[in-house]
């Protein structure tokens, strides 16, 4: 492998952890061998509202191997500020830590049994008899819309007001000659990563070590330190591999805290691994969104007004606005836009971030409404989007740092063969025997996020390098792309660079959420590697014995473990030679990297994409098959062409699940979850997924971050459900505005 910088950063290399993963060599949090380990099993409520009146734990306590049984009646009390009320930010959830007997949702933790084996703990937990004072739960979002309240703000770190309104949007909408006003809904969904959540906690005096399946080792550290009143340094969180997170492992949840609380009491390491069912309601879900969407246009298709009012469920004790209006505020050029966000309290677990939170459900409404408006105008839907292409961000009123969306539309349309749609746009106009064929498209967008991060880089006298950053790889390829950024920046081949992550003793990094890891930690890794290389160059030019002595550092280039003069490559020497001669065993630099506040003010920073699909709907059964997928994306620079491509494909597959299958069902009568398992909560399997053709549009962006990356983890799902719903309309003439698009919704008869 050639090691010149541009060739390694971006190269479609195999994952550095790939072999270990497929040969079973990877150890996930719940698989770490910790001596003296005991097992915690959480007891979950069987009601959704009320309180625990009593728990008969005698049989459980006497059961073989049981060390302790905790209930709301004997759990050690936490200091008030660190118990449920800790939720200061949307990521810091209020948690059920057995501090009070209240029950707010089905499957809420109401007890923990710790025993010497998992089986004994599970059995003992089954012996506990619980009595409740039961209340009638709040179960249905739509039935309680009149009780909706404003959360005040939406968004994670980039807080926005819950409402936005400029230039009388309602009047603009209602005076528009062409308009669409409809209600769109997306259901509660659960993340279902392959690896269920798990934590092993162990104490050594007042030092706590935790192996956790998490998207944020430092967030976990912070919350645990807060819970026990410890300094951050006294809590160590380790997470080398994650089997998927999709947002569910972003916040810290009750089981992590409970494992640490139990371990403190029994004075032995405690593991709590959630079952699939326990993840439902307890590790966040995508909220049910009820979206009233209106868009008005003049006869030429120019949008004159948009009104988007979103209400989603939150729990009875915490608030989570699903920020479904954020894309509406920035995607199309229009100076009269109103958006509102409201919450309704239900007896369900607190919702949370799920892949493209906000954009995924929000663009279902926006991009279906755009399709409906195109129909109203008898206009090509791509044309309508180009007609309303935003050159500046309508909300922030600043230009985009770069925007390759026009090229995304054009290249995806061309590859897909959108001309076939244009030749036959009428519903039910294309068929293949019993299969009705339809084509649909939608726009994708996701903000480019970046947070402060840090990394350290070290060049050793043997010519190898070690690069460290806390961070975590939730399966996205962080191990690999950070090694690529390191090798590329250091001018070393991949096999001379070791990159390490997943431990809170390493340099501090942000949560892997909001598609920000490449931009944040990638920039920190690049900065550290660049700085240590400069240090090496400075050493060489100052060294009278070096062939580079007195050279201008700017004229020195680094490649393949060698520094040389740009104009005369024969003049140079290896990194090892420089350090060995100087008797320096290693050169090390630690760097911080933070977003540029001025650039953030001057530019709106987003990734963009265009999703095109062909669906086939069976005329008799309503079965929907996705036949073809083409997506083109402007995600800035790619750090690894292969893992970036995989991220998009994963996002599209996730979107197919969202469009056709996924729905967490709470019983209307008692708010008990009906399908907390993978037998009844359906996700796509290989047979549901067509070939996915991913096109990357090359954009240069000098403003977002030094690497020029926009983030790729979430944009792949955005627009997928709308593209499918639009294609299904084209195929059948039935407009489905409520996800998922199950066959029953198509059997109402064609328009």
Residues labelled catalytic: 714
d(C-alpha 82, C-alpha 72), whole Å: 16
Site string for ligand MOS, 475-514 (x = CB under 6 A): --------------------------------------xx
Q: Which is nearer to ligand MOS, 278 or 472 (CB)?
A: 472
Closest listed residue to residue 388, CA positions, set 334, 459, 312, 426: 334
8 A C-beta contact, residue 493 and residue 560: yes
Q: Which is nearer to ligand MOS, 125 or 213 (CB)?
A: 213
Per CB under 6 A, 269 contacts ligand MOS: no
Q: Does the protein bind ligand MOS through residue 216 (CB under 6 A)? A: no
Can you tell me which of 120, 197, 255, 355 binds ligand MOS, judged by CB under 6 A? Answer: 355
Instruction: Give yes or no for residue 39 binding ligand MOS (CB under 6 A).
Output: no
Residues 547-586: x/- map of binding to ligand MOS (CB under 6 A)?
----------------------------------------
How far does CA 676 lie from the centroid of its chain? 21
Q: How many residues bind ligand MOS (CB under 6 A)?
A: 11
Position 215 contacts ligand MOS (CB under 6 A): yes
Nearer to ligand MOS, 250 or 502 (CB): 250
Scanning 323-331, 354-362, 393-401, 600-608 for contacts with ligand MOS by CB under 6 A, the matching segment is: 354-362
Pairing status of strand 235-238 against strand 207-212 = parallel
Q: By CB under 6 A, tell whether 381 contacts ligand MOS.
A: no
Residue 4, classed as helix, strand or coil, is coil
Q: Which of 208, 46, 65 is nearest to 134 (CA)?
A: 46
Residue with CB nearest ligand MOS? 247
Q: Which of 307, 342, 295, 293 is nearest to 184 (CA)?
A: 293
Contact present, 659 and 724 (Cβ < 8 Å): yes
- In this structure, what token pair is assigned to residue 685? 């399997």
User: Helix H segments across 115-240?
Assistant: 118-126, 169-175, 217-228
Quote the distance between the C-alpha of residue 186 and its chain's center: 18
- Residues 388, 380: Cα–Cα separation, whole Å: 13
Smallest gap from Cβ 514 to ligand MOS, in A, equals 4
137 binds ligand MOS (CB under 6 A): no
Mapping DSSP onto H, E and C, the string for 84-103 reads: HHHCCCCCCCCCCCCCCCEE
Q: Which window, 105-113, 136-144, 243-251, 576-584, contacts ligand MOS (CB under 6 A)?
A: 243-251
Binding mask 674-713 for ligand MOS (x = CB under 6 A): ----------------------------------------
Phi, then psi, of 696 in degrees rounded to 5: -110, 130
Contact region for ligand MOS (CB under 6 A) — 12-20, 109-117, 341-349, 353-361?
353-361
Of 542, 330, 288, 576, which Cα lies nearest the Cα of 448?
A: 330
Closest distance between ligand MOS and the C-beta of residue 482, in Å? 18
If binding is defined by CB under 6 A, does position 247 make contact with ligand MOS? yes
188 φ, ψ to 5°? -65, 135
Q: Does 650 bind ligand MOS (CB under 6 A)?
A: no
Q: Does 220 bind ligand MOS (CB under 6 A)?
A: no
Q: Does 301 bind ligand MOS (CB under 6 A)?
A: no
Nearer Cβ to ligand MOS (250/510): 250
Q: Least CB distance from residue 109 to ligand MOS, whole Å?
A: 23
Spell out the residues 6+ positions from residue 568 whose beta carbon is closer than 8 angstroms to its own.
none
Report the nearest approach of ligand MOS to the CB of residue 69 (Å).
35
User: Is residue 73 within 8 Å of 130, Cβ to Cβ?
Assistant: no
Q: Of residues 353, 608, 696, 729, which one binds ligand MOS by CB under 6 A?
A: 353
Give the relative orientation of helices 217-228 and 254-266 as an angle to the nearest 10 degrees: 50
Q: Residue 105, interface with ligand MOS (CB under 6 A)?
A: no
Tell me the closest approach of the beta carbon of residue 332 to ligand MOS, in angstroms: 24
Eight-state DSSP code of residue 496: G
- C-beta closer to ligand MOS: residue 209 or 517: 517
CA dist., res. 487 & res. 484, Å (int): 5
Residue 417 CB, nearest distance to ligand MOS (Å)? 33
Of 350, 343, 198, the residue nearest 285 (C-alpha): 350
Which residues, 6 or more positions from 428, have their beta carbon under 8 angstroms from its beta carbon? 436, 731, 732, 733, 750
Q: How far is the CB of 512 from ligand MOS (least distance, A)?
A: 7
Beta carbon nearer to ligand MOS, 78 or 330: 330
Q: Using CA atoms, how far apart are residues 190 and 442, in angstroms rounded to an integer?
A: 23
Residue 215 CB, nearest approach to ligand MOS (Å)? 6
Q: How far is the CB of 246 from ligand MOS (least distance, A)?
A: 6
Q: What share of the chain is helix, strand, coil (3-state, %, to 5)?
A: 30, 25, 45
359-377 vs 720-732: helix crossing angle, rounded to 10: 30
Under DSSP, the state recorded for 498 is E
Most distant pair of Cα atoms in the chain: their distance: 86
CB of 191 to ligand MOS, least distance (A): 8
| Distance in Å, CB of 337 to ligand MOS, minimum | 24
Q: Is 357 in the site for ligand MOS (CB under 6 A)?
A: yes
Site string for ligand MOS, 509-548 (x = CB under 6 A): ----xx----------------------------------
In the stretch 413-452, what mask flags binding to ligand MOS with x, by CB under 6 A? ----------------------------------------
What does the alpha-carbon distance between residue 43 and residue 278 come to, in Å, rounded to a whole number? 10
By C-beta, is 463 or 514 nearer to ligand MOS? 514
The answer to whether 217 and 502 are in contact (CB under 8 A) is: yes
Q: Which C-beta is closer to ligand MOS: that of 286 or that of 737?
A: 286
First-to-last alpha carbon distance for the chain, in angstroms, is 59
- Helix H or strand E encompassing 60: helix 58-62
Return the range that interacts with ligand MOS (CB under 6 A); candidates 54-62, 69-77, 349-357, 401-409: 349-357
Indicate whether 672 belongs to the interface with ligand MOS (CB under 6 A). no
| Residue 520 Cβ vs ligand MOS, minimum distance, rounded to whole Å | 12
Q: Which of 662, 641, 656, 664 is nearest to 712 (CA)?
A: 641
The window from 25-33, 312-320, 331-339, 347-355 that contacts ligand MOS (CB under 6 A) reads 347-355
57 or 214, CB closer to ligand MOS? 214
CA atoms within 13 A on the CB side of 457: 34
Report yes or no: 254 and 199 within 8 Å, Cβ to Cβ: no
655 in Cβ contact with 716 (< 8 Å): yes
In the complex, the smallest distance separating the C-beta of residue 165 from ligand MOS, rounded to whole angstroms, is 27
* Comparison of 290 and 355: residue with beta carbon closer to ligand MOS: 355
40 or 514: CB nearest ligand MOS: 514
Answer for which of 250, 269, 294, 488 binds ligand MOS (CB under 6 A) is 250
Three-class SS state of 49 = coil
Q: With contacts defined by CB under 6 A, name the span among 21-29, 47-55, 69-77, 348-356 that binds ligand MOS.
A: 348-356
State which residue, 91 or 270, has the beta carbon closest to ligand MOS: 91
Tokens of 713: 């983890």
Name which of 667, 601, 514 is nearest 139 in CA terms: 667
Strands (DSSP E) contained in 155-269 are 160-161, 164-165, 178-186, 198-204, 207-212, 235-238
Only segment of 352-360, 562-570, 587-595, 739-747 that touches ligand MOS (CB under 6 A): 352-360
Task: Answer yes or no whether residue 244 interacts with ligand MOS by CB under 6 A.
Answer: no
Give the C-alpha separation, 368 to 726, whole Å.
6
Q: Which residues bind ligand MOS (CB under 6 A)?
A: 215, 246-247, 250, 353-355, 357, 513-514, 714
């Amino acid at each position: 492998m050639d090691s010149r910088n541009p060739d390694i950063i971006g190269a479609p290399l195999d994952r550095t952890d790939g072999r270990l993963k497929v040969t079973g060599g990877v150890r996930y949090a719940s698989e770490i061998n910790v001596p003296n380990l005991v097992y915690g099993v959480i007891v979950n409520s069987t009601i959704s509202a009320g309180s625990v009146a009593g728990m008969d734990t005698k049989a459980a306590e006497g059961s073989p191997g049981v060390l302790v049984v905790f209930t709301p009646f004997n759990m050690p009390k936490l200091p008030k500020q660190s118990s449920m009320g800790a939720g200061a930010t949307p990521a810091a959830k209020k948690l059920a830590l057995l501090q009070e007997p209240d029950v707010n949702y089905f499957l809420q933790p109401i007890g923990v049994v710790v025993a010497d084996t998992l089986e004994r703990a599970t059995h003992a937990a089954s012996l506990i008899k619980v009595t409740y004072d039961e209340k009638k739960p709040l179960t249905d979002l739509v039935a309680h819309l009149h009780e909706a309240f404003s959360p005040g703000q939406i968004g994670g770190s980039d807080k926005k007001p819950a409402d936005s309104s400029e230039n009388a949007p309602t009047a603009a909408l209602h005076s528009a000659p062409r308009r669409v006003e409809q209600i769109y809904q997306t259901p509660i969904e659960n993340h279902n990563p392959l690896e269920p959540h798990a934590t092993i906690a162990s104490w050594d005096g007042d030092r706590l070590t935790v192996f956790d399946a998490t998207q944020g080792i430092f967030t976990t550290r912070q919350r645990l330190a807060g819970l026990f009143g410890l300094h951050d340094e006294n809590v160590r969180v380790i997470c080398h591999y994650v089997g998927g997170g999709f947002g569910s492992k972003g916040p810290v949840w009750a089981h992590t805290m409970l494992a640490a609380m139990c371990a403190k009491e029994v004075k032995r390491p405690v593991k709590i691994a959630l079952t699939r069912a326990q993840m439902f309601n307890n590790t966040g879900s995508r909220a049910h969104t009820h979206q009233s969407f209106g868009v008005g246009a003049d006869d030429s298709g120019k949008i004159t007004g948009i009104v988007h009012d979103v209400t989603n469920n939150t729990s009875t004790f915490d608030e989570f606005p699903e920020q479904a209006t954020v894309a509406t505020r920035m995607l199309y050029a229009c100076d009269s836009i109103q958006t509102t966000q409201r919450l309704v309290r239900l007896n369900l677990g607190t919702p949370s971030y799920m892949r493209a939170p906000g954009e995924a459900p929000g663009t279902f409404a926006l991009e279906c409404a755009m399709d409906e408006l195109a129909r109203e105008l008898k206009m090509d839907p791509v044309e309508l989007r180009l007609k309303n292409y935003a050159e500046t961000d309508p909300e922030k009123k600043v230009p985009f740092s770069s925007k390759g969306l026009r090229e995304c539309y054009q290249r995806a349309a061309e590859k897909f063969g959108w001309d076939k749609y244009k030749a036959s746009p009428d519903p039910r106009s294309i068929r293949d025997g019993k299969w009705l064929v339809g084509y649909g498209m939608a726009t994708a967008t996701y903000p480019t996020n970046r947070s402060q991060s840090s990394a350290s880089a070290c060049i050793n006298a043997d010519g190898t390098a070690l690069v460290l950053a806390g961070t975590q790889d939730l399966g996205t390829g962080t191990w690999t792309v950070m090694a690529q950024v390191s090798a590329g920046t250091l001018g070393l081949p991949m096999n001379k660079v070791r990159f390490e992550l997943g431990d809170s003793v390493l340099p501090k990094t942000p949560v892997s959420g909001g598609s920000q890891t490449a931009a944040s930690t990638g920039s920190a890794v690049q900065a550290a590697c660049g700085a240590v290389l400069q240090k090496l160059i400075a050493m060489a030019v100052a060294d009278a014995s070096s062939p580079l002595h007195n050279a201008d550092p700017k004229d020195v280039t680094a490649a393949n473990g060698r520094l040389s003069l740009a104009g005369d490559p024969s003049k140079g020497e290896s990194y090892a030679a420089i350090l060995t001669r100087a008797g320096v065993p290693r050169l090390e630099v630690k760097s911080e990297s933070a977003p540029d506040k001025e650039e953030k003010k001057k530019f709106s920073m987003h990734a963009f994409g265009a999703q095109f699909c062909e669906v086939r709907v069976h005329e008799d059964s309503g079965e929907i098959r996705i036949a073809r997928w083409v997506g083109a994306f402007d995600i800035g620079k790619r750090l690894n062409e292969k893992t970036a491509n995989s991220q998009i494909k994963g996002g599209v597959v996730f979107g197919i699940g969202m469009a056709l299958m996924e729905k967490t069902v709470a019983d209307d009568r008692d708010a008990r979850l009906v399908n907390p398992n993978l037998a009844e909560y359906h996700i796509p399997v290989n047979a549901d997924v067509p070939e996915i053709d991913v096109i990357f549009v090359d954009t240069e962006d000098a403003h977002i971050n030094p690497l020029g990356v926009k983030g790729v983890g979430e944009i792949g799902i955005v627009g997928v459900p709308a593209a499918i719903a639009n294609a299904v309309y084209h195929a059948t003439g039935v407009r489905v505005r409520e996800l998922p698009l199950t066959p029953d919704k198509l059997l109402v008869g064609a328009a």
